[in-house]
Amino acid sequence: MPPLRNLLGLWAFLAISGTASKVGGAGYDVSADCHSCYSSDAGNVTAVELLQTHVDLSSNGAQHAPFAPVKEWTTSPKVLRVSGGILLVCLLFVLGFGSTDILVGVAVFLDLFMTTVLTPLAPTLTADYQLIALLTSSKNIVTCLIAPFTGRFIDGNEAKSMQLGMLCAMFCTLSLAAVKDYWFWLAVRCLSGCSTAATVWGGFALLNQVHSDEAAARTRAMSTATVSLYAGVILGPQAGGLFVDDSGFLFLLLSGAQLCTLFMLLFRLPDLSQQKQTQTDHAAKVGMMSLIMDPDVRNPIIALFLALAFIAALGSTAFEHMVRLGYGQMKQNLTWLLSSVPAILFACLVPALRSLVEGQTLQILAMFLGGASALLCFGSNYILLALALFGASVAAGIVDGNTPAMLADRSQEKYGGTGQVFVLSNVADQIAFVLGPAAGSIVCQHASFHVMCQSFGACMVLYALFLSLLTLMEKTPISKSGKDTGVPSEAPSTK
């Protein structure tokens, strides 16, 4: 599952808190200015205008003039509502004529969209950073906790899992539209962890079964689902920012899209009843531990964890590092695009890349690329920072798009197409976005941003070397006598 996702809210919390500490160190009281905004004679200020207000991070920030709202171009609510209606009609067209791969991709997109749309909306409920972090991370914690129980249910029930997940997601969205209270949203957020487990894991497992006989089509389907996941992660916060003053309509629009998708999931998913009994028999013999002990399952998941942990660590530390270097807000945002756009592009290119090299080789090359670019990050050179972000993004995109295809191939070869392999990869994804920011922040606090990048880079390069050694050993098997199997052993002496 792609980088930038799941705990994007936690990333935002760490980045904001780091920036706030930098501002505080410069002697600039942000809270005082925000309070003066609401108590000024200028009248009420919308949340969008407040978020668009310029904050100077320079060292002489304490000598600023009184607060004056910055006039920015804003889209009227009427235009946003009309645009949302048009997008809903377009979605109906796509759902009505799209293939199974597209239908699953839309379901995955809507689930991640609902996950990340709360990122800009959380500060409207509370100003407490810890409560914001709890709200954004609660869903991922629940998703990890229920993993052992959902894995076996998904096998043989892929379509039903997606349908129940979309129904749960629609209920959560309508609840968010009806009540705007922090603790109520926290409860709904926890419940939405069940919808993510059912929809995303069920979707990948369904594609694995639909394309069980064709590896190339299976790879393309996994890539489509991964790109849809990225799209939800990126577009969710943007939509939340646009509708920050009209979140109720946004949730109603989203619930309408989920309702349409639910109907299509009920009537347009293929019938897998012929494969169900065989798959259930195989799945009954497969346990999570047996999958974890299989190196062909474990190794791609570890690579996925390292790549996503690094990109998550960058998310929690890169903005603070750029603030310390004196970059302006525009330069920060444009620089951060280097960590997101390449990931989407290369996730799309995974099927083409797998037609040129084997999946294991592609995984190794991606880890080498990401690790080497991170090792080169030192000093205050902008090119080296951009290279580290770009390399990490490319590595994450390739690994995130390639890992589901590798797991699907192994699942079909040895485990009867079980969907539990995708449960394991998604849990590794969730853990990476918890431990990555934590480790990155600790290293940056006690050492530096460059040491953090080089530490993750060293881990990625070492693991790539380990995978290379394993691949080399597999291609040159050793006989019991210690000699290459390709060389005939001498006949025993008769003397």
Task: Write out the DSSP string of 75-107.
Answer: --HHHHHHHHHHHHHHHHHHHHH--HHHHHHHH
What pLDDT is attached to residue 273? 62
Residue listed under structure tokens 């942000």: 30
**Predicted local confidence at residue 234, as pLDDT:** 79
pLDDT for 93 equals 63
pLDDT for position 277: 52
285: pLDDT confidence band, cut at 50, 70 and 90? low
Q: What is the pLDDT of residue 465?
A: 96
pLDDT at 235: 81
Whether the CB-CB separation of 106 and 91 falls below 8 Å is answered with: yes
Residue 56, pLDDT > 80, answer: no
Q: For the chain, what is the mean pLDDT? A: 77
CA distance 206 to 209: 5
pLDDT exceeds cutoff 50 at 479: no
Confidence of residue 55 (pLDDT cuts 50, 70, 90): very low
Q: Pick from 137, 350, 91: which is nearest to 235 by CA?
A: 91
* pLDDT band, very low/low/confident/very high, at 492 (cuts 50, 70, 90): very low
- Cβ burial of 101 (10 Å; 0-12, 13-18, 19+) is buried
pLDDT cut 70: percent of the chain above it: 74
pLDDT at 413 over 90: no
How many whole angstroms separate alpha carbon 221 and alpha carbon 230? Answer: 14
Query: Do 155 and 418 touch, CB atoms closer than 8 A?
Result: yes
Region of poorest pLDDT, from 104-113, 123-132, 163-172, 416-425: 123-132
Residue 305 banded pLDDT, cuts 50, 70, 90? very high
The pLDDT, as a whole number, for residue 183 is 92
Q: Which of 87-96, 285-294, 371-380 has the highest mean pLDDT?
A: 371-380
Q: How far apart are CA 408 and CA 291, in angstroms?
A: 12
How far apart are the C-alpha atoms of 405 and 214, rounded to whole Å? 12
Among 11-20, 89-98, 175-184, 443-452, whose mean pLDDT is lowest? 11-20
Say whether pLDDT at 43 is over 70: no
Tens digits of per-residue pLDDT, 431-454? Answer: 888 888 888 888 988 888 999 999
Segment 75-85 mean pLDDT = 64
Supply the pLDDT for residue 421. Answer: 86
Taking residues 15-37, report their average pLDDT. Answer: 38
Task: Express each pLDDT in 119-162 by its tens digit.
Answer: 778 888 887 777 877 887 788 788 888 877 777 778 778 889 99
Give the whole-angstrom CA distance, residue 207 versus residue 324: 46
The predicted pLDDT at position 369 comes to 95
How far is it, in rounded angstroms, from Cα 355 to Cα 360? 12
* CB burial readout 441-452, b (16+ within 10 A) else e: bebbeeeebbeb
The β-bridge partners of 484 are 478
**Pair of tokens at residue 208:** 């694995």
Residue 457 has pLDDT above 70, yes or no: yes
Query: Would the pLDDT of 397 be above 70?
Result: yes
Mean local confidence (pLDDT), 241-253: 83
Mean of pLDDT values over 342-348: 89
- d(CA 303, CA 318) in angstroms, rounded, equals 22
Query: What's the Cα-to-Cα distance from 146 to each of 9, 115, 151, 197, 477, rounded to whole Å?
Result: 21, 17, 9, 8, 40
pLDDT of residue 275: 58
User: pTM value?
Assistant: 0.71
Instruction: Give the whole-angstrom CA distance, residue 220 versus residue 348.
Output: 9
pLDDT value, residue 80: 64
Predicted pLDDT of residue 344: 86
What is the structure's pLDDT at 283? 55
40 band by pLDDT with thresholds 50, 70 and 90: very low
Taking the domain 8-12+75-474, which CATH number applies?
A: 1.20.1250.20
What is the pLDDT at residue 460?
A: 96
Would the pLDDT of 456 be above 90? yes
In the chain, where are the structural domains located? Answer: 8-12+75-474
